[in-house]
Amino acid sequence: MENLQHAFHELFAQLGLPCDAHHIAAFLQTHRPLPGDVALPDADFWNPAQATFLRESLLQDNGWAQQVDALSEALRSP
C-alpha cells in the first residue's frame, strides 16, 4: 500500500483540473450537491480516465483515497 498523503489541491492536479483555490471552489460550486445515491466515480462530470482514477484510488485504498473521500464529502454538502 502507498503511504503517501496528498493535499486536496494535488488531487485536482492529478485529475487534470485547475488546482488553485479559486478553481477548486468554482468546481465544487458547479457540481454540488452530488446526490447520495451516486458514487463519486459515477458522477457524470468525470471523463473516463478521471472516473477510473477515482474508482481505483478507492478500491486500492492508496495514498489518494483520503482526498478522494474528502472530495466526495465536499461535493455532497450544500
Residue at 51 is within a domain: yes
The C-alpha angle with vertex 71 and arms to 70 and 72, in degrees rounded to 5, equals 90
pLDDT at 5: 81
Residue 60: CATH number of its domain: 1.10.10.1130
Q: Over range 36-63, report the average pLDDT.
A: 96
pLDDT at 78: 79
Residue at 45 is within a domain: yes
Specify the number of domains making up the chain.
1
Furthest-apart CA pair in the chain: how many Å? Answer: 33
pLDDT at 65: 94
- What is the rounded CA–CA span in Å between residue 77 and residue 18? 21
pLDDT at 52: 98
CB 37 within 8 A of CB 72: no
Domain containing residue 52: 17-76
pLDDT at 4: 72
Q: Over range 36-58, report the average pLDDT.
A: 97
**pLDDT mean across residues, the chain:** 94
Residue at 24 is within a domain: yes
